[in-house]
Amino acid sequence: MNRMDLNRGMITRYGIPLVILIAVGLPLVSADLYILNLLVLMLIFIIFAEAWNLLAYSGQGSLGHAAFFGIGAYASTLIATESGITPYITIFVGGAVAALIGVLIGLTCVRLREWFLAMVTFGFAIIVQTLTVSVLAPVTGGWDGIASPRLISAGIPGYQLIQYYSILLITIGCILLIHLIMKSRLGLAFSAIRENEVEARATGVDPVRVRLIAFAISAYIAGIAGALEIHYIGYLTPEIYGVDISFWPIIYVIFGGLGTLAGPVIGTVILMSVWEGLRQAGLTFGRYVIVGVMLILVIIALPKGLVSLPGELRERWMAWKEKRAVRADSADIIPDKES
């Protein structure tokens, strides 16, 4: 027990600075644009996965988070294009629009659980996509999409690095925000309604209000992630609402560890690296199969995700050692028992 606590303290004390050091230092060591691009996308999906994770932390599993990702992207792009304001400001406005719509969809979802919620959120992404290509097509450009202003104009020397470090800063900010929320009374209320709604209500937590807040914050952060990605890529089409975009954060979070702060980071970094590796190896469809198998294995064998692997292994090891000690003891007393 004691050793485990110590170990956990060490991981947070040295692990987090180490990760930040790597994130800061890697582009300086290797100025490879391919790696820089991959790192930027990783950061964006870390934000997205953390946003999904926060909603799941309150007991709500969304299958349509691409809706918020996309709404943030469209809102920020349209505002930046119309007003000429720098995307660094409009991404937060885009997030706010996503949060507003998140509250609206949350209102229909607060009384629903598990599969019902999953269905409604999934359907919501499809409805938003349909609206984007039909009614809103004059503004959004329909299926053709629209160009999105870049975060920084390509004329500035070293713009790629500035871009990377600014996104890194936003990522750290988002993670810090989520960390503070999880540690606050609100975070406590999230886990209370997740674990037992009746008891939470008895202690004075209003589940409807708390769920709505969770929806709003999660949609806000997902919207920021979507806006960042699109300003980074520079072009926006309705495919951003695709099922794939909704599923990736879920897979990353489950793989890394649901409900933890480190899980989404670990899951995103590992799976995106594996994904890129498999792509390089030329596995167009095979990589999906491999990721699917990995996901199922983690769900069945390691339900708390990769973050629980060290603890799990230590526990196994302890149990095995204890068993061996017991066996050795009993062997002293009764020589020929136990197979």
Partner 1 sequence: MVDVGILLQILFWGVYAGCIYILLATGLNLIFGVMKIVNFAHGEFLMLGAYITATVFFMTGVNPYAIIIISMLVLIGIGAVVERLCFRPILGTSKLNEIFLSLGLIYIFQNSAAMIWGDQWQSIRSPYQGITVSLGPLSVPVDYLIIMAVTSAILCALYFFLRKTETGRQMRATSQNRKGAMLVGINVERMDIMSFSIGCALAAAAGTLWVVSGQVFNPYMGSIPAVKAFAIIILGGLGSIPGAIAGGLLYGIAENGAAYFLGGVWKDAISFIILIIVLVVKPTGLFGESGE
Q: How far apart are CA 11 and CA 5, in angstroms?
A: 10
Q: How far apart are CA 191 and CA 58, in angstroms?
A: 6
Side chain identity at residue 98, one-letter code: A
Of 172, 141, 167, the residue nearest 152 (C-alpha): 167
Instruction: Report angle CA 134, 138, 143 to the nearest 5 degrees.
Output: 55
Tell which positions 92-131 bind partner 1, by CB under 8 A: 108, 111-116, 118-120, 122-124, 126-127, 129-131
CB of 195 to partner 1, least distance (A): 11
Contact 256, 265 (CB under 8 A): yes
Q: Does 320 bind partner 1 (CB under 8 A)?
A: no
CB of 268 to partner 1, least distance (A): 16
Q: Does 289 bind partner 1 (CB under 8 A)?
A: yes
Beta-carbon count within 10 A of 67 CB:
30
Tally of residues, the chain: 339
Side chain identity at residue 124, one-letter code: F
Considering only residues 41, 100, 233, 291, which one is a binding residue for partner 1 as defined by CB under 8 A? 291
Q: How far apart are CA 194 and CA 97, in angstroms?
A: 26
CB of 304 to partner 1, least distance (A): 11
Q: Does 139 bind partner 1 (CB under 8 A)?
A: no
Q: Does 198 bind partner 1 (CB under 8 A)?
A: no
Q: Does 279 bind partner 1 (CB under 8 A)?
A: no
Q: Which stretch binds partner 1 (CB under 8 A): 11-19, 91-99, 160-168, 251-259?
A: 251-259
Dihedral, 188, 192, 193, 199 alpha carbons, nearest 10 = -140
Considering only residues 288, 322, 325, 331, which one is a binding residue for partner 1 as defined by CB under 8 A? 288
Q: Does 300 bind partner 1 (CB under 8 A)?
A: yes
Q: Which is nearer to partner 1, 51 or 80 (CB)?
A: 51
Chain contacts with partner 1 (rule: CB under 8 A): 56, 61, 63, 108, 111-116, 118-120, 122-124, 126-127, 129-131, 133-134, 243, 247, 250-251, 254, 258, 284-289, 291-293, 295-296, 299-300, 303
